């Protein structure tokens, strides 16, 4: 999924964040890449929120994940 492309409508927003955070973004992408970086971060967070929603629905329907089963799967993948 692309975050922003030429066909998408964009809106301008004002956001507040710690100065150290904005300085870190600027040092990574430059002043002209700031909005794109923030848009990508928000899109990623929305994807994670949607995944959390799916996982919560699955847990409500099927019960919690068995941690021993998860450990066994990770052990198989690592081995």
Closest CA to 46 of 25, 38, 26: 38
Tokens of 3: 């975050």
Average pLDDT of the residues of the chain: 92
- Domains of the chain, by residue range, sit at 19-78
Q: Is the model's pTM score more than 0.85?
A: no
Q: What is the pLDDT of residue 3?
A: 55
pLDDT tens profile 14-37: 999 999 999 999 999 998 999 999
């Amino acid at each position: 999924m692309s975050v922003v492309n030429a066909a998408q409508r964009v809106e301008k927003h004002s956001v507040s964040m710690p100065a150290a955070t904005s300085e870190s973004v600027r040092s990574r992408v430059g002043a002209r890449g700031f909005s794109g970086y923030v848009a990508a971060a928000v899109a990623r967070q929305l994807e994670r929120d949607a995944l959390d929603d799916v996982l919560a629905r699955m847990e409500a329907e099927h019960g919690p994940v068995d941690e021993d089963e998860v450990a066994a799967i990770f052990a198989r993948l690592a081995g």
